[in-house]
Amino acid sequence: MSFKTSFLAAIAAPRFKDADTPWGRVRVLALTGDAYDKYAAARAKTKSVTRGNALFVVATVVAPETNKPVFTEDDVDDLCDGNTSAVLALAELATSVNAEDEFQDAAGNAMTAGTTG
């Protein structure tokens, strides 16, 4: 299989992590290019770190049973007004999912991305 085919298969495979939190179980998604662009556009409109974290949670946290968003943009103010450490915990989980260097090949086998040299 060519590099191109393998690479495109790896980035096409949905990536997520189901996690138990003190508030219940959630699924955190790795963002696709379009979803990242939408998040980045919303994030660029604010200088608030708390609001940025809330927007990231909105973009990445879904219900594991349905894959439907837990929060919407209508919830951002509520997420910012409450306990910021709780929102930060979800945002850090989302950051780890979106930064992981483990991918799957076309057969579903785990592969680790890395560089040499």
**What is the number of domains present in the chain?**
1
Q: Where are the beta strands (DSSP E) in 1-117?
A: 16-21, 24-29, 61-62, 102-104, 110-112
Q: How much is the pTM?
A: 0.81
Tens digits of residue pLDDT in 53-73: 999 999 999 999 999 999 999
In a domain, residue 74? The reply is yes
The Cα 40–Cα 98 span in angstroms is: 14
- Rounded Cα–Cα distance for residues 3 and 18 (Å): 29
In this structure, is residue 1 part of a structural domain? no
Is 115 within a domain? Answer: no
Per-residue buried b or exposed e for 78-99, using 16+ beta carbons within 10 Å of the residue's own CB: ebbeeeeeebbbbbebbeebbe
* More confident site: 111 or 52: 52
CATH of the domain at 66: 3.30.2220.20
Query: pLDDT tens, 15-32?
Result: 899 999 999 999 999 999
